[in-house]
Amino acid sequence: MSFTLPIGAEAKSFSLPATDGRTYSLADFADAKGLVVFFTCNHCPYVMGSEEVTRQTAEKYAPHGVRFVGINSNSVRTKPDDSFGHMVERMEEKKFPWVYLHDETQEVAKAYGALRTPHFYVFDEERKLIYTGRGVDQPRDTSKMTVNDLDNALAEFVAGKPVSVPLTNPIGCNVKWDGQDEHWMPAEACDLV
């Protein structure tokens, strides 16, 4: 079995606290035509370098019924900047158009097989996985970007077409697993493609 959810897999359930003071579960997004679950954090230069493009993509597809859910699963012991308090501050400052959830136990990251920050998962109306991987090809410096894979996948999805490139390798910092060196990845978490 692969570490990361394979194309066609169902979205895994979750119940996590958000920076807005609420707790969200998968069912809270039942009305969304499409759902983008992405693993992110506060400090990673790949997240910070591409978050405005992610914002633009989220805003572009919101009128089509696509919702975005950001999840921070990084160990606070490894990266104190990824604490829930810092998440709240970051959302207050940036006002991102998604809910920002805290996966303190890292169980959701393990269920999805999150490899890096950012790592995107796009689900259709039936919550089947239709795309996973990177958002863009140059997340650290989007001025050098040539491909927005997330936008391409969502454009095809809302047009009722199959996603032509459903799988890419996420580009970013690895998820900071609790009790491990900050560069550690599970042995089965090899590249996706």
Domains and CATH numbers, the chain: 9-174 (3.40.30.10)
Residues 148, 149, 154, CA angle at the centre, nearest 5°? 105
Which whole number is the average pLDDT over 113-139? 97
Counting residues of the chain whose pLDDT is more than 90, the rounded percentage is 89
Residue 68 clears pLDDT 90, i.e. is over it: yes
Distance, in Å, from the CA atom of 68 to the CA atom of 58, rounded to the nearest integer, reads: 6
Whole-number Cα distances in Å, 39 to 108, 113, 148, 164: 10, 10, 17, 23
51 Cβ neighbours under 8 A, 6+ residues apart: 40, 94, 96
Residue type for position 8? G
Number of Cβ within 10 Å of residue 30's Cβ equals: 10
What pLDDT score does 180 carry?
86
What pLDDT score does 185 carry?
77
What pLDDT score does 192 carry?
57
pLDDT in tens, 163-180: 999 999 999 999 999 988
Which whole number is the average pLDDT over 129-156? 98
Average pLDDT, the chain: 94
List beta partners, residue 172.
none
Which whole number is the average pLDDT over 75-95? 95
Which whole number is the average pLDDT over 27-46? 97
